[in-house]
Amino acid sequence: MDWLNTSLAAHSNIEDSERFDPHQALNAAERIGRWLPKSDDSKYNSALRTAGAAFEAIAKKADALTAISWLETLNTKYRAAKLTADVARVESSIRARADEAHQSMKRLSVDIDVPPSEMLAWLDELTAGSAELALSRIAVNLMTSETTLRGMVETAAAVAPLQAHIGIVIMGKGGTTAATIGSVKDDMPGRMINQSAMLIGAAAPFVHQALENAKTRWNIDADGLFAFLAQSPLFQAHTHAMLKHGIKAWFEEDTVKAIHILVPQVEAALREVLVSMGESVLRPSNEAGGLEVIGMGKVLRDETFAAKFDPTARHHLRTFYTHPKGINLRNKIAHGIAGEELLGRGIANWVSILFSWFASTGM
C-alpha cells in the first residue's frame, strides 16, 4: 500500500514532468481500491480524486477531442464510486469543450452526378398512377432492406478491413458519447443501423425531387394531403387538428415546426398499428396509479410488431426515430437535444413521406 500511494503521488504530480502520468496514477488508485476492505470507501475515493485531478489538469492543455475522451473515462470511474459532485464537475468540463470538439471534426462529402434524362425517367416512373401510389412508392423505393444493408457493410469490410475493426463513436450535442458502434464482427446490427442512417441522409435530395415532382404532377396541396391522411384509421379524429397544422407547416417550408408537430403523430399512428395487431399499448404507471401509453421505442421493439410489420420499414423507422446508433430523431426532439441543423428540409420530407406511406398501406 505504501508503494501504491507513493506511485499515485508521483504520477499525479503535474509539476514532475518526468514521472507525471495520469493513466498510471489512475491504475495505482484502482489497485489501492482492490487492496482496501470493501467497507473502507473513503480512502479509495480520496485516491481516485487524486488521480482524477491529474486527468482534469492535463485535459485543460489537450485538444478538445482528446480531453473529452479522457474526461469521459474519468466520469465513468467517478459515477461508479457514486461521487456525484465530481461527476457533475467533469460533465461541466466536457460541455465546455463540446463546441471546440465539433468544430475540429472534418466533413467528408462525395459528389453524385446523375444525368438529367435518367433523373426525369426515374421520377416519371416513381410518381406514376395516382397521388396516393406516388407518395407510397417514394417511401418504399427509398428505404433499404436489412439484407441489402448487411451486404453493403460486408462489402465495405472486405474493401477496408482495418476500418471494419475500428469502432465508431457518435458524439452527442453536449460533447459526451451518445453511442458506440463496435467492429463489423462484434456489432453487425449497430453497423447496419449506422449504414442505414447514412443512406437516409444520402437519399434526402432524391426524396425532395420525388416529392416536388409528385406535388406538381398530381396538384397535391396541404388540404388535399390532409384529406387523404384523415381517411386512414391510423390517424384518430383527435389527432386531426395537429396533423393539419403539421402538414401546413411542411408545405410552407417551416421545417422545425413541421417536424415537432408531426413526429408525435407518427408515434400515435404506430401505436394504432400495434393495436390493430391485437396488442395493448398501455402500461401501469407506478407514479400516477393509472395507465400510460408506451413510447415509440417500445412499439418498434414489440415482438408482435417485429413479427407482423414490414421488416424493411421497421428497420428504417428504428434508425430514423429511436435508435441511438442511428438518427434517433424522436428521442432527440423529446429530450430537447435536436439542433436546428438537424431539423431541415431533408428530415421534414422523410417524416412527411412516411405519413403518406402509413395511410396508403393501412399499416
DSSP 141-167: HTS--HHHHHHHHHHHHHH-HHHHHS-
Domain assignment present for 111 = no
- Whether residue 25 contacts residue 54, with contact meaning beta carbons closer than 8 Å, is answered with yes
- Whether residue 94 contacts residue 175, with contact meaning beta carbons closer than 8 Å, is answered with yes
Do residues 48 and 157 both lie within one domain? no
Please tell me the distance from the alpha carbon of residue 194 to that of residue 175, in angstroms, as a whole number: 19
Please tell me the distance from the alpha carbon of residue 204 to that of residue 206, in angstroms, as a whole number: 5
Pick the last residue of a domain from 53, 69, 104. Answer: 104
Domain that holds residue 60: 2-104
- The total number of residues shown for the chain amounts to 363
Q: pLDDT value at position 360?
A: 66
Percent of the chain with pLDDT over 90: 74
Write down the pTM of the prediction: 0.89
Q: Is 67 exposed, middle or buried (0-12, 13-18, 19+ CB in 10 A)?
A: buried
- Whether residue 332 contacts residue 263, with contact meaning beta carbons closer than 8 Å, is answered with no
Domain assignment present for 110 = no
Q: pLDDT value at position 361?
A: 64
Give the single-character DSSP code of 212. Answer: H
Cβ neighbours of residue 231 closer than 8 Å, sequence gap 6 or more: 359
Domain assignment present for 50 = yes
User: In the block, which residue shows the cell 415532382?
Assistant: 213
Do residues 82 and 30 both lie within one domain? yes
CA neighbor of 42 nearest in space, from 4, 2, 82: 82
Do residues 139 and 199 both lie within one domain? yes
Q: pLDDT value at position 359?
A: 67
Domain assignment present for 351 = yes
Please tell me the distance from the alpha carbon of residue 214 to that of residue 207, in angstroms, as a whole number: 10
Q: How many CA atoms lie within 13 A of 325 on its CB side?
A: 17
Task: Categorize the per-residue pLDDT at 340 as very low, low, confident or very high, splitting at 50, 70 and 90.
Answer: confident
Q: For residues 291-311, give the mean pLDDT.
A: 95
- Whether residue 101 contacts residue 65, with contact meaning beta carbons closer than 8 Å, is answered with yes
Q: pLDDT value at position 213?
A: 95
Do residues 22 and 60 both lie within one domain? yes
CA neighbor of 273 nearest in space, from 306, 241, 244: 306
Do residues 31 and 142 both lie within one domain? no
Percent of the chain with pLDDT over 70: 98
Count the domains in the chain. 2
Do residues 307 and 267 both lie within one domain? yes
Do residues 150 and 77 both lie within one domain? no
| Residue-wise burial string across 267-284, b where 16 or more C-beta atoms lie within 10 A, e elsewhere | bbbbbbbbeeeebebeee
Taking only Cα atoms into account, the Rg of the chain, rounded to an integer number of angstroms, comes to: 25
How confident is the prediction for the chain on average, in pLDDT?
Answer: 92
Q: Tell me the sheet residues that pair with 170.
A: 179
Q: pLDDT value at position 273?
A: 93
- The helix (run of H) or strand (run of E) holding residue 226 is helix 222-230
CA distances from 131 to 143, 195, 207, 213 (A): 19, 30, 15, 11
Q: For residues 99-125, give the mean pLDDT.
A: 90
Q: Is the pLDDT of residue 362 over 70?
A: no
What SS3 state is found at 177?
A: strand
Do residues 140 and 232 both lie within one domain? yes
Do residues 94 and 141 both lie within one domain? no
> Cα(first)–Cα(last) distance of the chain, in Å?
65
